[in-house]
């Protein structure tokens, strides 16, 4: 069987895009705060008092990943957890003052990083790019199980 053209495989291209983003993030934004951690902090700055499940839904992280991200932010003193007075089983999350300062600092850096990341595209191309990847990302979030099982898996 002949090799396939990986330039037609969206997963391969998405991985390459993610690698570029990761490199830029670590060099231009932060080596301590990850992009998912920033997304959680950003969500809580915009909407303080959300519960963990809602934050996870807003940023597209599964239950175990959002729990770990929140735990790390909590240990760093960037967010506070308080018991929901209406439902003692859940915690409401708010950024601390340090969390707000960190968010402010990283927001400036992410804007610069995004300029570098998107430099190959014109303004019109950026609009199309965002529309297309948003549509694919939204559709992918709806996929919980593949249509066809992988051979050898049950």
Quick one: pLDDT at residue 89? 86
Quick one: pLDDT at residue 35? 97
Domains defined for the chain, CATH in brackets: 31-139 (1.10.10.10)
> pLDDT by residue for the chain (154 residues), tens digit each?
999 999 999 999 999 999 999 999 999 999 999 999 999 999 999 999 999 999 999 999 999 999 999 999 999 999 999 998 888 888 899 999 999 999 999 999 999 999 999 999 999 999 999 999 999 988 887 775 455 555 555 5
Quick one: pLDDT at residue 123? 97
Beta strand 50-51 with 87-95 is antiparallel
Quick one: pLDDT at residue 94? 97
Task: Enter the tokens of residue 145.
Answer: 């199980």
Nearest to 118 by CA among 107, 106, 108, 130: 130
Tell me the whole-structure pTM to 2 decimals: 0.86
**SS3 of the chain:** CCCCCHHHCHHHHHHHHHHHHHHHHHHHHCCCCCHHHHHHHHHHHHCCCEEHHHHHHHHCCCHHHHHHHHHHHHHCCCEEEEEECCEEEEEEEEECHHHHHHHHHHHHHHHHHHHHHCCCCCHHHHHHHHHHHHHHHHHHHCCCCCCCCCCCCC
45 neighbors 100 (Cβ within 8 angstroms): yes
């Amino acid at each position: 069987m002949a090799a396939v053209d990986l330039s037609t495989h969206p997963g391969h291209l998405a991985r390459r895009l993610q690698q570029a983003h990761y490199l830029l993030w670590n060099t231009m934004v932060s080596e301590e705060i990850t992009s998912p951690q920033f997304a959680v902090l950003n969500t809580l700055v915009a909407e303080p008092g959300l519960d963990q499940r809602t934050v996870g839904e807003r940023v597209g992280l599964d239950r175990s990943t959002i729990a770990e991200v929140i735990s790390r932010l909590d240990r760093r003193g960037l967010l506070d957890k308080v018991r929901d007075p209406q439902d003692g089983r859940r915690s409401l999350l708010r950024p601390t003052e340090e969390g707000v300062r960190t968010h402010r600092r990283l927001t400036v850096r992410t804007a610069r990083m995004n300029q570098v990341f998107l430099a190959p595209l014109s303004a019109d191309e950026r609009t199309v790019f965002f529309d297309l990847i948003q549509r694919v990302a939204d559709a992918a979030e709806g996929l919980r199980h593949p249509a066809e099982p992988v051979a050898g898996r049950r």
